[in-house]
Amino acid sequence: INKARIIIFSSEQEIVENLNSILSDIYELVLHSESDSFEKDYRNNYDLAIIASDIKLCRKIISGQTNDTSLILLLPAESGIGNTEIEESGADIYFEIPFSKAEILSSVRHLINEKKQLKHLKQITKVTKESEEKYKRLFQLSPDGMGYHVGGKIGFINDAGIKILGANSFEEVFGKYFLDFVHPFDREFVFQKTKDRPENQQLSYETRIVTVQGETKYIYMTTTRFLLGGVNAIQFIFRD
């Protein structure tokens, strides 16, 4: 089994040794103490990057990013850097130094699993888009929102669905959890409606969604569970 690959930058040997002791038995680590060599190597295909004590490098990496590598930023507790600046750094997760083994392991596993799921979703989407070309005109001309989600994450949605969700493009909603668009008061209701439904059994119900702009809408939804690329998926059709 191939180990997930993590690239790490830190000029502090103690941090390098700490991360190495926590992660090296589970993941393949590539360590850098020079920012220039880290930037060059980062362009290669890594599952995760960890940057310690250099928020400027983090911002630079994110601004020029051409891949989908997740990033963890580690900063000393006494760095004096404010929350706004940390949020604007582009890092997926931030930790103060010193950090615990449990929090690092948990976050690394979460981000790497998220990337694997997104990669699988993209692969399925590519296959299904190719097979759906003959239906594309029907999908795009439909006034109803149509698409599917895999593991709860949107893998395909037509232009009408994008518009109903208040988004401007497919990329804005791709890979997002469909339940995140459902009104908080209705999420448990929708989750229970779609949970463990028999394959090909159609289910219709009314619920509320919250658009990208924060507008609440009532929609009428029809869902059907089906197999897509060997995995369970939910097809949805909805109108507002």
Q: Which of 1-10, 14-23, 68-77 has the highest mean pLDDT?
A: 14-23
CA distance 92 to 16: 20
Cβ–Cβ < 8 Å for 89, 63: no
Per-residue pLDDT at 66:
63
What kind and span of H or E run contains 74?
strand 70-76
pLDDT at 209 over 90: yes
* Average pLDDT of the segment spanning 169-188: 91
pLDDT at 204 over 70: yes
- The DSSP symbol for 179 reads G
pLDDT digits (tens, 9 = 90+) for 140-166: 677 899 988 888 888 888 889 999 999
Per-residue pLDDT at 216:
94
* Average pLDDT of the segment spanning 95-113: 86
CA distance 170 to 158: 8
What kind and span of H or E run contains 38?
helix 35-42
Helix (H, G, I), strand (E, B) or coil at 210: strand
* Average pLDDT of the segment spanning 174-203: 85
pTM exceeds 0.75 for this model: no
CA distance 15 to 106: 18
CA distance 9 to 201: 51
Which tokens belong to 9? Answer: 């930058």
**In Å, what is the CA distance from 63 to each residue of 44, 56, 91, 133?**
16, 11, 11, 34
Q: Which of 63-67, 216-220, 221-225 has the highest mean pLDDT?
A: 216-220
| Banded model confidence at residue 78, pLDDT cuts 50, 70, 90 | confident
| Banded model confidence at residue 232, pLDDT cuts 50, 70, 90 | confident
Single-letter amino acid, residue 70: S
Strand order in the sheet with 48-52: 28-32, 5-9, 48-52, 70-76, 93-97
* Cβ-based neighbour number of residue 163 at 10 Å: 15
CA distance 100 to 46: 23
CA 34, distance to chain mean position in Å, is 29
- The DSSP symbol for 177 reads B
CA distance 95 to 119: 26
